[in-house]
Structure 1
């Protein structure tokens, strides 16, 4: 059954192109979440080794400082970062928190600084690429909405939305042939009381 919807005008729709594209997803979702895309394998291996050494020393220091309750959180951040399927966010966040705990109890400052640098380099490289991809997507969306073809597609989409869900029936006959009905509006079954 057709539904009346108050649609924006073409000018309003076109003016919202940038906002619509920027809010359709996070910029980082537009690029790969694989850390190997943004940091060299040698640097990732170096970070994993440094994190393992830092975690061992930090666990001991947390116990001596009377902060043994913090170890479970430290362990979880490390496990997230050490996972072979870790994403950029898992790795960067894990390394950040391992570094934070190590600095809190002043353990291996050089290793903590190096791990922080690697984590920041990873996140910065990914974010810079994501921003560039997002800018390109915004430019494409603005150009599409400014074109007559883009407006025609939007009008088709609006017509589909107003029309609502459609049902097509396919009938298979005994001889193996089939027939397809024209689409008809979907009528939800009414509950029987």
Structure 2
């Protein structure tokens, strides 16, 4: 144990990545434990499929392990680099034909007292998710990163490898497309009984 560096919970992502680049599996485990949940959540928001999200997050961390030496702390934060990997993998996964999610089969009836309110909320969420899924890949990624993940304009722009101005324009187009899609869906007469 004398030759193994001790990993402290307070070690920064940069410290851990330096160790991962040197092949330190314990540092990699700590880094994955720290960020896996967020990577899965981001992938699920982008794909809408929990199974795909788990696979994407695992693949992202495999790439972190394999390419740790490529990460440059001077260019971006580790989380920005990780998010870029997750976004790219999710976009690639979306381009491949696949199975429909099990969730599309529907849910069994819910007899709970507030079932009507949950149905209304679910229908609204489904409308938003359909409108979000219909956006082009980069617009969807912009909305998810900025509004659902809470990244700043600068951070989200870094993840998508674009300037802040270009990201702001992409986000504005995505919001306008979502607004139009949702207005069209609500105007089509879909109401909650």
Give the shorter-chain TM-score range.
under 0.3
Question: If each structure's strand is expressed as a fraction of its own residues, which one has the higher value?
Answer: 1
> Taking structure 1 as the reference length, what is the TM-score of the superposition?
0.23
> Taking structure 2 as the reference length, what is the TM-score of the superposition?
0.23
Q: Which has the higher contact order (CA 8 A, sep 6+)?
A: 1
Question: If each structure's helix is expressed as a fraction of its own residues, which one has the higher value?
Answer: 2
